[in-house]
Chains A and B, each alone.
Chain A
Amino acid sequence: MSNSTVSFKTDLLKHHVRYYGWLPFCKKRKELAQPILKCGRHQRSLRYFTFCAVSAMDVYMLNLEHVISSDSNKPFKNVTFFDKNDDLVEETKRGIPGATGFTGDFTKLVLTDNDDADEEWEGVKSSDLLDAPSDKPDDRHTRKEQVQTAKRFSLSMSFPYDIINLDLEGYVFRPGDTFPGEMIRALRHVFRWQRRSLRLGIDLKEKNFGYLNGFTLMFTTQVGPENLTDEYLAALRQIIDENIESDEQLASILEERTGTKEADKLQSQDFDEFFQIAIPKQLAKMLMEEDWCVDPNSGIRAFAFERQYDGGSYRMLHFVMHVNRQQPIRDWRMSKDPTSEAREQYGKVVRKIFDEPVDFVTDGSLDKQKLGEHIKRIHSRSKKYRV
């Protein structure tokens, strides 16, 4: 999702996050994924889903660093991206040829009236959804319905991915959104879709690579909005309170870090800190509910920086984490609740979130030379591929 006021091609604050946050995690993901990249004789590459901007800096970076490999025919065929409008999608495709682009509003595409719609798609192909209906006229309304359903299907069937980068650029909770918020609901679908087994066409045949046992998630959001309703605030406070209730030591850790052990006081005294603590917990909790769990060894690495604009400043938060599938997977368990091991790991992750402060990046803390050189290499890479 693009923000036209910042040049992502050269912005060092953002690149610090890419270089020190995203890149090490993605390289680790490549290492962790090695055993599952094979299906018999066939090898696949890592698959990457991103909300990259037109500059596609993250894509080029991962290509430069050999995390996502190029296919000589279609260099970025393992990349799927989303953008707001067709101009941006087209421009991005020129930059990363072979990538699949989806146009439009991500949440509007992902969400339907029926949150269990995915369950009905077993054995369905997207072309089936486009069959001419016997009882409806060939008009715009009918066509739009068909195509929207098929498009959603195509997006969902493109999952799972080894690395997912949800770089929102805006707010995770949008003004006017009904609780729990469209993006949160959409994320649940994404985590559900990640549970699918991976089937790819290789050498003219479909190969089943099985379920992913893990993936890497990057998540970016702006802190706010300022007028977040009580419903949302209450939900975020509840997450912190729940954690504290389940682990006594967390209260003292929180107090040591923020000066208070009460979520509501934290919210009123330091909203940014409150948000920075609550959001990753929200993510970790959602993942656990969807049969995943954040890896407790690496935890959730968090970065933040401020951006200035005419009216003031705003804060961006970046999270990156490894996510593991609960074992045995939900389909093979009697109970659909999270496993005890997952709960335990969740507890450890939560403690780390309390324990480890956000890496606050400022202009003064940047290694400008190193980052600048790396950016130059990425720009050279982009020139190599642009059509």
Chain B
Amino acid sequence: MERKIRVGEKALAHLSRGLYRSPASALRELVSNAWDANATSVRISTGYPNFYEIRVSDNGDGFSRRDFETLMEGTREEIGGIGNSLKRSRSVQLTNNRQIIGRLGIGMLGISQFCPSFVVTSKVKGERGFSARVRLYDLLKQQLDSDSEEIVSPQAVDVGVYEFVDSDLSKVPVGTTIYADDVHPTFIQSFQTSCSAPDFEEPSLDWSENIQHFSRQRTLQELGHYWRLIWELSLACPLPYVNSKALPEGLVKQDNDRLRRYDFEVFLDNIKLAKPIHLCGNEHGYTCYAIPRQEKRTYGKPVCYHGYIAVQEGHQLQPDELRGILIRIKDVAIGYYDTSMLDYRYNEGPRSRWVTGEVFISDGLEDALNLDRESFNRFHPEFRELQNYLHETLQHKIFREVYKKLDQRSEMRKEVRKDYHATILREVVQSSSEKKVRFKSIKGTAKDKPDREVRVEGTDSGMTVAMPDVVVYKTKKSARDLARAIFAIYEISQKKNSPTERQRTFYDLIQKLLFRW
């Protein structure tokens, strides 16, 4: 006989204690809420450089007092309460072709990870608006673990209290503001400390300067918490790039146009955020691959995506955090760039540190998302579908091209080195001879067993040095040019009249050669 398995309310209550890895993740959720509320502008104030209060306000649709009550408590008519989002249960049309991001309605509690008490003020057009103080219980884990009667009942688990606050909201605009004035001292301390480090540079209001600052760091950890917050938030949110040429070969032009059409801005401490990505100016260029739109189905469900992969040829990407593949669902980043490239199994050596890419999921993969919206169930069929495509592309298209270019550069470097070594030998030899010295090549390969000797012929007008191809010498490849040069110097010095002169000339030329080689 089949029986049902229930998930206890305490499980969800534990989630309210902490779900997100970083403050940026929690703030990202509030930004997502604003997006879902049709906001065009979100302003986040961290209280920099003191961080005593945090404020997130948007100009979205707001929500009514009743909706707030339902969100907090649930009612008989509507199954609300934290975790039962009203967003998906009602059909909501968003502006500018946006798709709804949030799904569980726990985003608002994200901020409680570092601020257990905050004030929510919201106003819907045509209504008076409301203001409510939300306060999560202190020491919640202990109370949950001990089944404290104060918070655990058969029907539900209370994680805190809220109360409406009387205030004059006549001048408050439509939208929502969350004002966190109970920021945890540990959070404040961490951020204050990072901003008072001796090498701390203040972020600029000019976003392109901030991108340059990011790209000068080997890793963002060197910048401290505040800069990391800027990076993570700008990466996570559905924002445009700094411009359409943020990536080479117009890789993101269409996506950038699309993102701009959403008409959505996020400001952090008055800095207008954009994606923190800008690749240009690499000496050896980039290998770019635009992932064309893929429309697949797994177990009857659609999985649609497109994107790009860019390889910075010859140089490791900076910062490290830009390496790997970033997946976006509805333009919101899921976690960070995955340096494993979705568990790519081939060892591409240092070349893997040159790779960055984004995949924009327009349909699917939400079922594969873990609750924190920062990671995937790696064995979910939809994830595997994406993974297989990317690995195929990386192995057979991207890295193939990368290795081809690597070989080309290697050959070019060899040529340059050869020319360089030939020039040194010529200059060293010429410096010791009053007559003009001419060098010429003797063609041949090792298979033909040609003469390995360097031949030197002197005339009244000058000296001719005939040198075989380096391939005749049975040494390491890197030593062949040097071997031939030494033999040439030996033969040249043998043309001197006396043993003493021959020895002196040989020693002299060898030293000069090795000094410059």
Residues of the B chain whose Cβ atoms lie less than 8 Å from the Cβ of A147: 52, 182-183, 185, 188
The chain B residue sitting closest to A153, CB to CB, is B50
Stretch binding the partner chain, chosen from B60-68, B76-84, B87-95, B199-207:
B199-207
> Is B75 on the interface with A (CB-CB < 8 A)?
no
> Is B193 on the interface with A (CB-CB < 8 A)?
yes
A93–B181 CA distance with the chains assembled, in angstroms: 17
Determine which residue in B43, B49, B205, B209 has the highest number of CB atoms from chain A within 10 A of its CB, and name it.
Answer: B205
With A74-B205, A138-B138, A140-B117 given, is the CB distance from A387 to B267 under 8 Å? yes
The contact string, 1 if C-beta is below 8 Å from chain B, for chain A 138-150, is 1110011011001
Residues of the B chain whose Cβ atoms lie less than 8 Å from the Cβ of A144: 182
Residues of the B chain whose Cβ atoms lie less than 8 Å from the Cβ of A139: 138-139
> Is A103 on the interface with B (CB-CB < 8 A)?
yes
A131–B193 CA distance with the chains assembled, in angstroms: 11
> Is A255 on the interface with B (CB-CB < 8 A)?
no
Q: Is the CB of B139 within 8 A of A140?
A: no
Residues of the B chain whose Cβ atoms lie less than 8 Å from the Cβ of A94: 43, 270
From 79 to 109 in chain A, residues with beta carbon under 8 angstroms from any chain B beta carbon are 86-87, 90, 93-94, 97-98, 100, 102-103
Q: Is the CB of A86 within 8 A of B179?
A: yes
> Is B28 on the interface with A (CB-CB < 8 A)?
no
Q: Is the CB of A90 within 8 A of B57?
A: yes
Residues of the B chain whose Cβ atoms lie less than 8 Å from the Cβ of A87: 172, 177
Q: Is the CB of B196 within 8 A of A73?
A: no
> Is B349 on the interface with A (CB-CB < 8 A)?
no
Q: Is the CB of A73 within 8 A of B204?
A: yes
A132–B190 CA distance with the chains assembled, in angstroms: 12
> Is B459 on the interface with A (CB-CB < 8 A)?
no
The chain A residue sitting closest to B201, CB to CB, is A204
> Is A246 on the interface with B (CB-CB < 8 A)?
no
Residues of the A chain whose Cβ atoms lie less than 8 Å from the Cβ of B208: none
> Is A137 on the interface with B (CB-CB < 8 A)?
yes
> Is A126 on the interface with B (CB-CB < 8 A)?
yes
> Is A285 on the interface with B (CB-CB < 8 A)?
no
A154–B189 CA distance with the chains assembled, in angstroms: 12
Residues of the A chain whose Cβ atoms lie less than 8 Å from the Cβ of B269: 93
Q: Is the CB of A150 within 8 A of B188?
A: yes
> Is A127 on the interface with B (CB-CB < 8 A)?
yes
> Is B17 on the interface with A (CB-CB < 8 A)?
no
> Is B282 on the interface with A (CB-CB < 8 A)?
no
The chain A residue sitting closest to B189, CB to CB, is A130
Q: Is the CB of A130 within 8 A of B186?
A: yes
* Contact among A132, A154, A205 with B50 in the assembled complex (CB-CB below 8 Å): A154
Question: Separation in Å of the B177 CB from the closest CB of chain A?
Answer: 8
> Is A376 on the interface with B (CB-CB < 8 A)?
no
The chain A residue sitting closest to B45, CB to CB, is A90
Q: Is the CB of A126 within 8 A of B192?
A: yes
With A140-B116, A204-B198, A204-B200 given, is the CB distance from A151 to B43 under 8 Å? no
From 156 to 186 in chain B, residues with beta carbon under 8 angstroms from any chain A beta carbon are 172, 177, 179, 181-186
> Is A122 on the interface with B (CB-CB < 8 A)?
no
The contact string, 1 if C-beta is below 8 Å from chain B, for chain A 272-313, is 000000000000000000000000000000000000000000
A139–B205 CA distance with the chains assembled, in angstroms: 37
> Is B55 on the interface with A (CB-CB < 8 A)?
yes
The chain B residue sitting closest to A144, CB to CB, is B182
With A130-B185, A147-B188 given, is the CB distance from A86 to B138 under 8 Å? no
> Which DSSP category, helix, strand, loop or mixed, fits chain B's interface?
loop
Q: Is the CB of A125 within 8 A of B45?
A: no
Residues of the A chain whose Cβ atoms lie less than 8 Å from the Cβ of B179: 86
How many residues belonging to B are interface residues under a CB distance threshold of 8 Å? 40
A256–B205 CA distance with the chains assembled, in angstroms: 58
> Is A206 on the interface with B (CB-CB < 8 A)?
yes
A102–B48 CA distance with the chains assembled, in angstroms: 10
A77–B200 CA distance with the chains assembled, in angstroms: 15
A150–B186 CA distance with the chains assembled, in angstroms: 12
Residues of the B chain whose Cβ atoms lie less than 8 Å from the Cβ of A204: 198-201
The chain A residue sitting closest to B187, CB to CB, is A130
Residues of the B chain whose Cβ atoms lie less than 8 Å from the Cβ of A140: 116-117, 135, 138, 182
> Is B451 on the interface with A (CB-CB < 8 A)?
no
Residues of the B chain whose Cβ atoms lie less than 8 Å from the Cβ of A146: 185
Q: Is the CB of B43 within 8 A of A73?
A: no
Residues of the A chain whose Cβ atoms lie less than 8 Å from the Cβ of B50: 100, 102, 126, 151, 154
With A147-B185, A204-B201 given, is the CB distance from A127 to B43 under 8 Å? no
Question: Separation in Å of the B132 CB from the closest CB of chain A?
Answer: 15
Q: Is the CB of A132 within 8 A of B186?
A: yes
Q: Is the CB of B53 within 8 A of A103?
A: yes
A287–B117 CA distance with the chains assembled, in angstroms: 40
Residues of the A chain whose Cβ atoms lie less than 8 Å from the Cβ of B204: 73-74
A160–B508 CA distance with the chains assembled, in angstroms: 71
* Contact among A90, A127, A137 with B55 in the assembled complex (CB-CB below 8 Å): A90
A202–B275 CA distance with the chains assembled, in angstroms: 29
A74–B426 CA distance with the chains assembled, in angstroms: 59
With A93-B270, A137-B138, A140-B116 given, is the CB distance from A130 to B188 under 8 Å? yes
A324–B445 CA distance with the chains assembled, in angstroms: 91
From 373 to 387 in chain A, residues with beta carbon under 8 angstroms from any chain B beta carbon are 387
A160–B43 CA distance with the chains assembled, in angstroms: 31
A127–B200 CA distance with the chains assembled, in angstroms: 16
* Contact among B52, B182, B200 with A151 in the assembled complex (CB-CB below 8 Å): B52
Residues of the B chain whose Cβ atoms lie less than 8 Å from the Cβ of A98: 205, 270
Residues of the B chain whose Cβ atoms lie less than 8 Å from the Cβ of A93: 45, 269-270
A87–B270 CA distance with the chains assembled, in angstroms: 15
A210–B196 CA distance with the chains assembled, in angstroms: 20
Residues of the A chain whose Cβ atoms lie less than 8 Å from the Cβ of B198: 201, 204-206
Q: Is the CB of A138 within 8 A of B139?
A: yes
A93–B184 CA distance with the chains assembled, in angstroms: 23
The chain A residue sitting closest to B179, CB to CB, is A86
Q: Is the CB of A73 within 8 A of B49?
A: no
A201–B200 CA distance with the chains assembled, in angstroms: 9
A251–B184 CA distance with the chains assembled, in angstroms: 58
Residues of the A chain whose Cβ atoms lie less than 8 Å from the Cβ of B186: 130, 132
Residues of the B chain whose Cβ atoms lie less than 8 Å from the Cβ of A201: 196, 198, 200
Q: Is the CB of A127 within 8 A of B192?
A: yes
A206–B198 CA distance with the chains assembled, in angstroms: 8
A64–B410 CA distance with the chains assembled, in angstroms: 59
Question: Separation in Å of the B473 CB from the closest CB of chain A?
Answer: 54
A147–B114 CA distance with the chains assembled, in angstroms: 13
Determine which residue in B189, B201, B206 has the highest number of CB atoms from chain A within 10 A of its CB, and name it.
Answer: B189
The chain B residue sitting closest to A74, CB to CB, is B202
Residues of the A chain whose Cβ atoms lie less than 8 Å from the Cβ of B52: 103, 147, 150-151, 154
For the complex of A and B, list the 6 residue pairs with the smallest distance between their C-beta atoms, beginning with the closest.
A130-B189, A139-B138, A130-B185, A387-B270, A97-B270, A146-B185
- CB-defined A-B contacts under 8 Å, sample of 6: A87-B177, A94-B270, A103-B181, A143-B182, A150-B185, A201-B200
Q: Apart from A90-B57, A150-B185, what are 4 other A-B pairs with CB-CB below 8 Å?
A: A73-B205, A86-B179, A100-B49, A151-B52
